[in-house]
């Protein structure tokens, strides 16, 4: 069973990288941020403020979240209903970041994540995969990039979608999310002791992928 954990702040390029890596290794990619986004989506749909811990926790009693791989693509289901790209909205990013700081939400999603890794080989990306969810992953990477560089990448993505925004707003958003993810009480974003630190600011995706494959081969004794 192969388990690769890729953690790091938002916009560091974790998901494209993890996706490509999983495809090269012929295994699935689990985007754990999508699970938190699904909880955030459920809260918004229920009209619950993302910081209303009591209401979010109560909501979990009647919430079933499932990740399924369909042709290698991860689909999120909320109470049996597929959500598609709706969880990618900007508004949902803020909800996801807020609900992910609630200990009961993290506990709720922990088993879902571990269960998938028990059943199959995976590359997982998130914030606490190496430090908490898959402490025994064979290969752990902490992937980051400068705020400037992450903001420029995000800006290019948004422009491609026709969304008009400013670099300053994106930078402020990224810094806010970094702060929240790194300073929450439970499972904050940290580099696991045995994770390899990679700064992708001046690296292309191919270069980062090759680097991780060589780290993986080394760790796996290949
Ligand atoms: O990676 P992302 O932007 O889709 O994640 C959405 C939010 O979920 C992000 O603000 C941090 C949180 N998250 C987390 O706390 N732990 C994870 N393993 C993955 C995401």
Please tell me the pTM assigned to this model.
0.90
Largest Cα separation within the chain, whole Å, is: 51
Residue nearest to atom 4 of ligand 1 (CA): 33
Sign, Cα dihedral of 81, 109, 175, 9: negative
At residue 174, what are phi and psi to the nearest 5 degrees?
A: -65, -45
Determine the Cα–Cα distance for residues 169 and 89; give it in Å rounded to an integer: 16
pLDDT confidence of residue 222: 74
Instruction: Spell out the per-residue pLDDT of the chain, length 222, in tens.
Output: 899 999 999 889 899 899 999 999 999 999 999 999 999 999 999 999 988 999 999 999 999 999 999 888 899 999 999 999 999 988 898 899 899 999 999 999 999 999 999 999 999 999 999 999 999 999 999 999 999 999 999 899 888 888 888 999 999 989 998 998 899 888 889 999 999 999 999 998 899 999 999 999 998 887
CB of 177 closer than 6 A to ligand 1? yes
Closest of 2, 17, 36 to residue 128, by C-alpha: 36
Q: Specify the ligand 1 atom closest to the Cα of 11.
A: 3
Is the CB of 127 within 6 Å of ligand 1?
yes
Beta-bridged to residue 73, according to DSSP, are 70
Counting every residue written for the chain, the total comes to 222
The residue to mutate among 100, 141, 182, having the most atoms of ligand 1 within 8 angstroms of its beta carbon, is: 100
> Which of 5, 94, 96 to mutate to test ligand 1, by most ligand atoms within 8 A of the CB atom?
96
Ligand 1 pocket, residue 10 CB under 6 Å: yes
Q: What pLDDT shows up at residue 58?
A: 97
Does 128 sit in the ligand 1 pocket, CB within 6 Å?
Answer: yes
Task: Determine the Cα–Cα distance for residues 22 and 192; give it in Å rounded to an integer.
Answer: 21
Ligand 1 atom 14, closest CA: 127
Q: What pLDDT score does 45 carry?
A: 97
| Ligand 1 in reach of 9 Cβ (< 6 A) | no
According to DSSP, the residues that pair with 144 across neighbouring strands are 199
* Beta-strand relationship, 65-70 and 3-7: unpaired
Site to probe by mutation for ligand 1, drawn from 13, 15, 32 as the one with most ligand atoms within 8 Å of Cβ, is 32
C-alpha span between 88 and 108 (Å, rounded): 21
pLDDT at 187: 86
Q: What DSSP line would sit under 162-190, residue for residue?
A: T----HHHHHHHHHHHHHHHHH-SSS---
Whether residue 96 has its Cβ less than 6 Å from ligand 1: yes
């Amino acid at each position: 069973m192969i388990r690769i954990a890729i953690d790091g702040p938002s916009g560091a390029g974790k998901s494209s990288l993890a996706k490509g890596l999983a495809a090269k290794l012929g295994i699935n990619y689990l985007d754990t941020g999508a699970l938190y986004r699904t909880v955030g989506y459920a809260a918004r749909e229920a009209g619950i403020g993302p910081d209303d811990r009591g209401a979010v926790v109560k909501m979990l009693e009647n919430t079933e979240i499932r990740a399924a791989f369909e042709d290698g693509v991860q689909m999120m289901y909320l109470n049996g209903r597929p959500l598609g790209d709706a969880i990618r909205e900007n508004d949902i990013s803020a909800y996801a970041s807020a609900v992910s700081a609630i200990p009961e939400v993290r506990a709720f999603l922990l088993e879902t994540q571990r269960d998938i890794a028990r059943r199959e080989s995976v590359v997982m990306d998130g914030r606490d995969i190496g430090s908490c969810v898959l402490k025994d992953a064979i290969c752990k990477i902490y992937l980051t990039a400068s705020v400037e560089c992450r903001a420029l990448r995000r800006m290019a993505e948004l422009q491609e979608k026709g969304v008009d925004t400013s670099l300053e707003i994106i930078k402020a958003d990224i810094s806010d999310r970094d702060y929240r993810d790194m300073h929450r009480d439970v499972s904050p974003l940290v580099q696991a002791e045995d994770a390899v630190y990679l700064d992708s600011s001046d690296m292309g995706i191919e270069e980062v992928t090759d680097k991780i494959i060589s780290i993986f081969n080394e760790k796996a004794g290949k």
